[in-house]
Structure 1
């Protein structure tokens, strides 16, 4: 085993700067015996590393190789299996358990003892030894081969020295002498042991021969021991002195530690005191402001605001655990509570008086604003109340019940004030509106009259209907200029009453922050109470305006829609937006009722049997409605409502024009249709209403068709006999007779043609045309000025017939020299002179 140890030291551990201290031949438990060696080693360099190394022979068996290594500090437990009986098995617990079987119990015990000593010397973390005999865990181990490996004490671990070069040469020379030194290591070791014993014997004889030197050596040893005793006595005295010094140093250290603890506690106590003083101390000035500060002056209010905020901060300070038990803290909290209650009572009483005073305010009454008809402004009152905004917020956060009671008081008195002013405002508005309304205003699109004649409405709209389009446009623009209203504009201006309404403007007061949803709901509830009468009064005013003139609904729809749109852009859930939205529903209902009423009046129109129809009143009324509506709805948000109304009205106008035309007895149907659709076409062309472009083209088509129909029917056949003659000629040609052979027909020869032509001299033709002009003049109305248009169309139709006759004469009677008694030039002169004479 010694030779193996020497070989392993030389070949494996010396190159790695390690010393081999113990070795055991083992194999794994429960497996085939594959022998290997577990080696306990230490490094030669500092710090010392202690390892357990597994070494195994190579497959060829001629050298050893290092297979695995574990650090001793990773060893958790050594299990020897049985402490009382010999057992070669043992376990080493590293990161996992390794189970080994040693070649002999002595090797196992020697190896475990070495591990124990290394653990005691080098490791702070002690390995646990289980089932190990206590004798193995002592300084000495049983004699034998392991004695030389492990040694008898801890110092034996450091006795091993590496062979020097000379020693290696001696050993190699000795091994060369013995041929079996390598092949039979045991025999070689036994030979060396015997030689060593011989040498030991020689040494003993040599020592015994030097007894005198031994005695001297022993005497020196005794003297040395005496000196050691002396030194030990001095060391003991020094140790006692150092012990007293140590005790004094411990006392000083303890004293310093207590001083440090005291300083730390004093610092913490100072922090607590500073915290309480900084956050729970209210200045005398703040206390005085809370108890007796002036709540009627700006300076006093500001002082009270600062004091109330400081008080709230002191009351809401987050106390640390244990503070509430301090008497001073309790006293301060009691003081703060009394100051809060005192100031809240003073503030509540003062604001109650302010609200009562403002609720009975008579400084600005409606009579002072009769000219412009506006609600009195309360800007000074609002500015006064804004000074208390922060105090009200403080009251809300500290005394919720008093805040709510104060809010109810404010709402009650403001409700009385605004209800009185709103009622007065709307009463004056109604008086002004009713005072300017004229009695006997007719319906805008109505046709009525007790005499049975077809008459127009007596409304201002019909008064404007007889004027030119430029006059109507100028009067429509006057709707926007009440300041320069003339007497002739009175009826139109009456309709602008709703367009001149004023609202109370804000005083430039902007809230410092946006209200929360909860605050918005609270404000809305307050406004519902304060202004609860405004929606009712608005609806009442709207109803009155609608009774006076249904056209007021146009102004109201535009204005109210604009106000709703503006309010919704600011806050779609605001009280103003909600209230105006409700009123807008009523206005829209009135507007729809107005349109339906006009349509119903068209359907109920009555026709006079004795007078000509002319431009129907509801046709003229639509023109005035459209001009007025275009002025009102210019750039309006509710343009879509007007476009829908336009379509309903124009379809009703079309239908009822045809109805009147069919029922007319005095005026030909074509004249009624022609004049009225010409008027509609002119109106739509002038106004350029995009949603009625289809109706504009339809009106033009109807006007053109009925103009042509009237011309043909009225002109008829002015040369009746001549017309009958040529109808017979055309019939013969149609039967197959050649045109140049028609003159050979007995009934259509040249003599018969000359006879018919002589019956229509120029004077007779002019006389017939003059009678025709008078007939057309009776049919047409002066308002639409279509007489010359119709007369010119008749002239064209007459010329067309004349040219047709001339063409037939030239084709059927060629070379006959037969011509009409008058020429086209004569005919043009007839039409012109007749038109000028009338």
Structure 2
């Protein structure tokens, strides 16, 4: 087997820079015997790669060749079949199970021992050895051919191998014989060399008989001398390291221990000393140990000392910070009840600044004592939530008092203005309104702010402006408060940051005793960051649990005072939500304001629905003319207010949707009221109100209502024309009926020039009808018509002259039509009207001027 091993090393593995460390002659179990060799190899270059190679003879049998190679790291299990009896069979589990039959049990055991050593030396993932004798894995392989095969390169295989009990006893016995063995490595080596010469004297003849063996022996001696030099160098380096540690411990270690045990946690200098000491302790506890070092008694004792120092300092730090949190939670000196003149919240930046000095210590506590760290976070949340609850409650009480103060004053002095007037959208106002004249109606209307232009009462403008400032002040105070607290929590409790990897520590009385920390893979790291963000949100929710409730209460009060306040609140709240989302979409502030925004939007929708419902419930008076309907005026003032509030607002889309709902309701209810009107003609109601709507939309230029603006103009024009035509039939009623009869005869087939031969429509009858309408009578009829139109129309819309001018145009058109019919049906008769077009123009002008 030795010759085969040398041949394989020379021909196959040396060209590939590999060393052959173990070999076994095998064939596949249960099949026709085709012998091959399984070889355990390692590369010469680092990092070392360990493989199992299947080698067999070529078909011609004159050389060996590689047939298959497996990486040892892919080996999961070695099954020796029987640990108590000799059995040449064994299995190797790679990606599949390979069953082998060795030429002898000794070769199999030698090969398995070699695999075990390679696994212990080079692989982190340990292979499972099944049905393998424990003695085979602990002791070296017996002498003989197998040993030369499997263990010949053991020096190259293992830089460090734990000694067996028997080897340890032999070395201790040898070293007891030479007390200077450790202090004088060269003398010890020289003594060993002399003893080796004495031992080899008996076999000198056989050694000299083989030149090859002599060369090998000389090579081994040279290697031994080299190892002695290496050991001496290592001993020197260890001595230097020990001296360095001694001086460091002597100079700084004692001060670190004092800082951890008794350091001042109240002064900046003492805190800095504690930080340095805790970092040094953590660094010592994180030192990577070589295999086997953790079993040394000195190392174990040192780890226990470190753990005791860790627990002592963790206790002191936790108690101190607990006292700070409790004291701050009970501090009531900053409550708002003592100074309600200004609507402001106390700033906690001094507390944050003082506590941030402990941030590094909190990070240390988080990495060493998770339970104490989490307990501190719970204590902080508990006491700070009480403090914030008091401050926020006082703050909102002041806001409510300021908000309601103006409303109460307005109610006492001016009745309906400000809170229960028409524009507040309260049910009690519009339900009771009847359609009255514009003067009385405008005197009852609340005014609206239009960029400094006051349309009516200055009181409403002042109230709404004050409410807007109060609500903005509330949001402006809450926003920096929440952001500052969230930023402090993230920094102080070291959340959303990487965690330090902790080595396994020996358990002490105060040790957690849990599983050791380990390096987080990528997926677990992302999960850790996500869970820490959840922790920040959870802490913020508990600390500021009263903000959302208080905000909703304030919003309800504002809506109760005046439902139009929902416009201001929607714009302000939307802007602050947008600002918070730009800073951090997942922050507590963004989430809370978003929830409150839903309530504000719901109130806004309720306000719009209330306006529509009140339109439907408006009743008209049977004793007075209709004029401009109340809800048309309300819509105008609502639009003026909304355009002022929503200028450049983020939620413009909500207003546009509300506009469409309101204008369609206005259109529908104008037509409803016009149909129900008894005192005022339907055409007048439609004409005046749609003219007002058209003027409002043209002035405000609301782009989303362009189609409704055109529709309002169309309705106004149609009903103006209809009213003019229907009203003008009355002054020349008989003449109008006569010519309607003439047109009817022509339509029945009578030729135009033969109409005059009809008995009822001859020239004599025409002259008789014309004589009934001399210029004087026509002017009198027009004067009566003007008075009637004046009674129908309202003063505030100022459409009388427009209607009168349209009637003039329509009258002239009819006059020309009558003249045309006389010319065509009564040609050459010389019959003309008693008055001319110029006479009519003078009639219309003089009547208009006289009134």
Structure 1 residue 754: Cα displacement? 3.1
Taking the aligned partners of 2:159 and 2:294, their CA distance within structure 1 comes to 74
Taking the aligned partners of 1:644 and 1:619, their CA distance within structure 2 comes to 18
The answer to whether the 8 A contact 2:446-2:460 is kept is: no
- Corresponding position of 1:470: 439
Taking the aligned partners of 1:348 and 1:291, their CA distance within structure 2 comes to 13
Residues 91, 195 of structure 1: alpha-carbon distance in 2 compared, 3 angstrom cutoff: farther
- Corresponding position of 1:258: none
Structure 1 residue 95: Cα displacement? 32
Structure 1 residue 773: Cα displacement? 1.4
The answer to whether the 8 A contact 1:446-1:602 is kept is: no
The answer to whether the 8 A contact 1:445-1:617 is kept is: no
Taking the aligned partners of 1:51 and 1:311, their CA distance within structure 2 comes to 42
Structure 1 residue 385: Cα displacement? 2.1
Q: What per-residue deviation string (whole Å, max 9, x for no partner) do you get for residues 600-624 of structure 1?
A: 1111111111111111111111122
Taking the aligned partners of 2:334 and 2:173, their CA distance within structure 1 comes to 138
Taking the aligned partners of 1:508 and 1:146, their CA distance within structure 2 comes to 47
Structure 1 residue 171: Cα displacement? 78
The answer to whether the 8 A contact 2:77-2:130 is kept is: yes
Residues 585, 469 of structure 1: alpha-carbon distance in 2 compared, 3 angstrom cutoff: farther
SS at match of 1:478: coil
SS at match of 2:19: strand
The answer to whether the 8 A contact 1:477-1:631 is kept is: no
The answer to whether the 8 A contact 1:279-1:317 is kept is: no
After alignment, is 453-462 or 419-428 more displaced? 453-462
After alignment, is 710-719 or 337-346 more displaced? 337-346
Taking the aligned partners of 1:346 and 1:198, their CA distance within structure 2 comes to 66
Taking the aligned partners of 1:578 and 1:714, their CA distance within structure 2 comes to 64
Residues 641, 156 of structure 1: alpha-carbon distance in 2 compared, 3 angstrom cutoff: closer
Taking the aligned partners of 1:693 and 1:371, their CA distance within structure 2 comes to 48
After alignment, is 37-46 or 507-516 more displaced? 37-46
Structure 1 residue 531: Cα displacement? 0.9
Structure 1 residue 18: Cα displacement? 36
Out of 307, 311, 318, the position equivalent to 1:348 is 318
The answer to whether the 8 A contact 2:425-2:610 is kept is: no
After alignment, is 473-482 or 347-356 more displaced? 473-482
Taking the aligned partners of 1:175 and 1:338, their CA distance within structure 2 comes to 37
SS at match of 2:591: helix
Residues 695, 327 of structure 1: alpha-carbon distance in 2 compared, 3 angstrom cutoff: same
Residues 568, 159 of structure 1: alpha-carbon distance in 2 compared, 3 angstrom cutoff: closer
Q: Does 1:278 align with 2:278?
A: no
Aligned length: 803
Structure 1 residue 759: Cα displacement? 2.2
- Corresponding position of 1:772: 785
Matches within 5 A, 1:17-166: none
Q: What per-residue deviation string (whole Å, max 9, x for no partner) do you get for residues 190-234 of structure 1?
A: 999999999999999999999999999999999999999999999
The answer to whether the 8 A contact 2:420-2:428 is kept is: no
Q: What per-residue deviation string (whole Å, max 9, x for no partner) do you get for residues 667-706 of structure 1?
A: 1111111111122222222233333222222222211111
Larger Rg: 1
SS at match of 1:463: coil
SS at match of 2:48: coil
Structure 1 residue 149: Cα displacement? 41
Structure 1 residue 800: Cα displacement? 0.8
SS at match of 2:410: coil
The answer to whether the 8 A contact 1:447-1:618 is kept is: no
Structure 1 residue 551: Cα displacement? 1.6
Q: What per-residue deviation string (whole Å, max 9, x for no partner) do you get for residues 124-182 of structure 1?
A: 99999999999999999999999999999999999999999999999999999999999
Residues 631, 229 of structure 1: alpha-carbon distance in 2 compared, 3 angstrom cutoff: closer
Structure 1 residue 540: Cα displacement? 1.3
Taking the aligned partners of 1:198 and 1:392, their CA distance within structure 2 comes to 67
Taking the aligned partners of 1:193 and 1:406, their CA distance within structure 2 comes to 66
Taking the aligned partners of 1:580 and 1:409, their CA distance within structure 2 comes to 26
Residues 741, 429 of structure 1: alpha-carbon distance in 2 compared, 3 angstrom cutoff: same
The answer to whether the 8 A contact 1:496-1:555 is kept is: no
SS at match of 2:157: helix
Q: What per-residue deviation string (whole Å, max 9, x for no partner) do you get for residues 70-108 of structure 1?
A: 999999999999999999999999999999999999999
Structure 1 residue 392: Cα displacement? 1.3
The answer to whether the 8 A contact 1:455-1:617 is kept is: no
SS at match of 1:388: helix
The answer to whether the 8 A contact 1:41-1:51 is kept is: yes
Structure 1 residue 832: Cα displacement? 2.0
- Corresponding position of 1:759: 772
Structure 1 residue 418: Cα displacement? 0.7
Structure 1 residue 280: Cα displacement? 11
Residues 325, 774 of structure 1: alpha-carbon distance in 2 compared, 3 angstrom cutoff: same
Residues 370, 464 of structure 1: alpha-carbon distance in 2 compared, 3 angstrom cutoff: farther
Relative contact order (C-alpha < 8 Å, sep 6+): which is higher? 2
Residues 539, 41 of structure 1: alpha-carbon distance in 2 compared, 3 angstrom cutoff: closer
Structure 1 residue 530: Cα displacement? 0.9
Q: What per-residue deviation string (whole Å, max 9, x for no partner) do you get for residues 754-809 of structure 1?
A: 33223222222222212211211111112222111111111111111111112222
Q: What per-residue deviation string (whole Å, max 9, x for no partner) do you get for residues 701-730 of structure 1?
A: 211111111111222242122222323333
After alignment, is 233-242 or 805-814 more displaced? 233-242
The answer to whether the 8 A contact 2:80-2:90 is kept is: yes
Residues 299, 603 of structure 1: alpha-carbon distance in 2 compared, 3 angstrom cutoff: same
The answer to whether the 8 A contact 1:445-1:621 is kept is: no
Structure 1 residue 537: Cα displacement? 1.1
The answer to whether the 8 A contact 1:446-1:618 is kept is: no
Residues 48, 438 of structure 1: alpha-carbon distance in 2 compared, 3 angstrom cutoff: closer
Taking the aligned partners of 1:164 and 1:306, their CA distance within structure 2 comes to 43
Matches within 5 A, 1:439-450: none
- Corresponding position of 1:418: 388
The answer to whether the 8 A contact 2:437-2:627 is kept is: no
Residues 310, 835 of structure 1: alpha-carbon distance in 2 compared, 3 angstrom cutoff: farther
The answer to whether the 8 A contact 1:677-1:699 is kept is: yes
Residues 747, 423 of structure 1: alpha-carbon distance in 2 compared, 3 angstrom cutoff: same
Residues 153, 436 of structure 1: alpha-carbon distance in 2 compared, 3 angstrom cutoff: closer
Residues 301, 179 of structure 1: alpha-carbon distance in 2 compared, 3 angstrom cutoff: closer
The answer to whether the 8 A contact 1:661-1:672 is kept is: yes
Structure 1 residue 415: Cα displacement? 0.8
SS at match of 1:129: strand
The answer to whether the 8 A contact 1:485-1:493 is kept is: no
Residues 202, 710 of structure 1: alpha-carbon distance in 2 compared, 3 angstrom cutoff: closer
Taking the aligned partners of 1:189 and 1:348, their CA distance within structure 2 comes to 57
The answer to whether the 8 A contact 1:430-1:541 is kept is: yes
Structure 1 residue 424: Cα displacement? 1.0
Residues 651, 222 of structure 1: alpha-carbon distance in 2 compared, 3 angstrom cutoff: closer
Structure 1 residue 816: Cα displacement? 3.8
Residues 10, 523 of structure 1: alpha-carbon distance in 2 compared, 3 angstrom cutoff: closer
Structure 1 residue 744: Cα displacement? 4.6
5+ residue gaps, structure 1, are 245-274
Structure 1 residue 448: Cα displacement? 16
Taking the aligned partners of 2:373 and 2:180, their CA distance within structure 1 comes to 117
The answer to whether the 8 A contact 1:681-1:700 is kept is: yes
Q: What per-residue deviation string (whole Å, max 9, x for no partner) do you get for residues 515-573 of structure 1?
A: 92122111111111111111111111122222111122222222223333333343333
TM-score by length of 1: 0.59
Residues 243, 681 of structure 1: alpha-carbon distance in 2 compared, 3 angstrom cutoff: closer
Taking the aligned partners of 1:424 and 1:157, their CA distance within structure 2 comes to 77
Taking the aligned partners of 2:829 and 2:150, their CA distance within structure 1 comes to 170
Residues 510, 546 of structure 1: alpha-carbon distance in 2 compared, 3 angstrom cutoff: farther
Structure 1 residue 811: Cα displacement? 2.6
Structure 1 residue 585: Cα displacement? 2.3
Taking the aligned partners of 1:727 and 1:771, their CA distance within structure 2 comes to 23
Taking the aligned partners of 1:786 and 1:736, their CA distance within structure 2 comes to 43
Residues 279, 330 of structure 1: alpha-carbon distance in 2 compared, 3 angstrom cutoff: farther
Residues 450, 143 of structure 1: alpha-carbon distance in 2 compared, 3 angstrom cutoff: closer
SS at match of 2:86: coil
After alignment, is 810-819 or 360-369 more displaced? 360-369
Taking the aligned partners of 1:525 and 1:157, their CA distance within structure 2 comes to 55
Taking the aligned partners of 1:811 and 1:576, their CA distance within structure 2 comes to 85
After alignment, is 792-801 or 562-571 more displaced? 562-571
After alignment, is 33-42 or 488-497 more displaced? 33-42
The answer to whether the 8 A contact 1:550-1:594 is kept is: yes
